[in-house]
Amino acid sequence: MSTKITSPDDPALDELCGKLAALAQEVDRSGGWPAQQLQLCADYGAYEWFLDSAWGGQAWDQEAVVRGYLALSSACLTTTFIITQRTGACRRIANSDNQRLKERLLPDLVQGKSFATVGISHLTTSRRHLATPVLRAERVEGGFVLDGFSPWVTGAAYAQYVVLGATVMDGDQATEQQLLVVLPTELPGVSIPEPAQLVGVSASATGELRLDQVMIEDQWVLAGPVENVMSQGASSPGGYETSTLALGLADAAIQFLATEAAKRADLEAPLHALRHEHQEVSETLFDVVRGAPNCSSETLRQRANSLALRSAQASLAAAKGTGYVLGHPAGRWCREALFFLVWSCPQPVLSANLCELAGIVD
């Protein structure tokens, strides 16, 4: 029986992170769904951090949640990433006006007895250049018929529910109206193809969710039809959660560098510089969390991305050829850091990343 983690200062958090870190290499190697890690998180009460006591949660404040995420992502990025998608779904449900759905779904979700995820990026950062929306909703008596696909859904095959966005159609024409529903994955017409192999976080089992004329009743609607349904409550793409995980990954790589530097004086200067930058970007992150930002969340994200990429590569350079052998964490951190270039990356962050990579200084 595990102790519940009740604050980010709780030693039980270190204990959980130790267990996750010990399993991180194997989950990367096998690419298998990290069921054991997710169960550990449930046992330690990690899903309680994000939700209100009405649902059995501990309702940690934002700063505490960020500290929790920093620790978890430094230990195992894949597990932590899955938790963010799970939490995204829970928050969308908790922040909705659909009281019946909250009562029905949240108590099991908070205890880890069920799993929910999100399929929303096609309303924000994916397939936005296409004329026809990839997931369409048609109003019918008693609900909506959903048709098309959601391109990226983490852990869809393991989810009982997917919080899903769709564009409301008027005949063949897309309207400005959007819908957010909870989709039970067992509904007729829902299919989940084998997810693609990814460069990193492959064990997150992220891939398409397909819907072939799926009838969803009104009782499953969370929000809409309304314009910009994603701007109603919860966090937006490019918000500070992604930056938090990037900083967690950077921390793991910097800690490795510190271990090596204890034996090798030549690593002292780069270690010092990366540590200093990590400290600075972390302070900026907490400023943003406290609502007193000295930069936009896009700038924070770009700096966190850059630091994750450079810290991971510095750990690889320090590990030398040994780090380039599959199974060494430095190689994994390098692949995982690339994820931040593509995950929930709004256009301004994408442009800033590209400018940095191209050596364009403004």
Ligand X SMILES: Cc1cc2nc3c(=O)[nH]c(=O)nc-3n(C[C@H](O)[C@H](O)[C@H](O)COP(=O)(O)OP(=O)(O)OC[C@H]3O[C@@H](n4cnc5c(N)ncnc54)[C@H](O)[C@@H]3O)c2cc1C
Residues that bind ligand X (CB under 6 A): 85, 117-121, 125-129, 151-154, 198, 201, 204, 206, 342-344
Structure tokens at 341: 């270039």
| Strand-strand pairing, 206-217 and 221-227 | unpaired
Displacement of CA 235 from its chain's centroid (Å)? 11
What sign does the CA torsion over 299, 300, 302, 307 have? positive
Structure tokens at 361: 């200084």
* Closest separation in Å from C-beta 84 to ligand X: 9
Query: Which C-beta is closer to ligand X: that of 117 or that of 302?
Result: 117
Q: Residue 308 and residue 295: Cα distance in Å, rounded?
A: 19
Inter-helix orientation angle 62-75/77-94, to 10°: 150
> Are 162 and 117 a contacting pair, CB within 8 Å?
yes
Query: Which C-beta is closer to ligand X: that of 236 or that of 259?
Result: 236
- Listed in sequence order, the residues at least 6 apart from 309 whose beta carbon sits closer than 8 Å to its beta carbon are 337, 338, 340, 341
* Closest separation in Å from C-beta 156 to ligand X: 8
Q: Peptide bond preceding 225: is omega within 30 degrees of 0, i.e. cis?
A: yes
Query: Which C-beta is closer to ligand X: that of 2 or that of 351?
Result: 351
> Are 162 and 185 a contacting pair, CB within 8 Å?
yes
* Closest separation in Å from C-beta 202 to ligand X: 8
Query: Which C-beta is closer to ligand X: that of 58 or that of 178?
Result: 178
* Closest separation in Å from C-beta 192 to ligand X: 13
DSSP 3-state of 154: strand
Query: Which C-beta is closer to ligand X: that of 237 or that of 323?
Result: 237
Query: Which C-beta is closer to ligand X: that of 230 or that of 261?
Result: 230
Query: Which C-beta is closer to ligand X: that of 234 or that of 314?
Result: 234
State the CB neighbour count (10 A cutoff) for residue 197.
8
DSSP 3-state of 116: strand
* Closest separation in Å from C-beta 88 to ligand X: 8
* Closest separation in Å from C-beta 23 to ligand X: 19
* Closest separation in Å from C-beta 184 to ligand X: 17
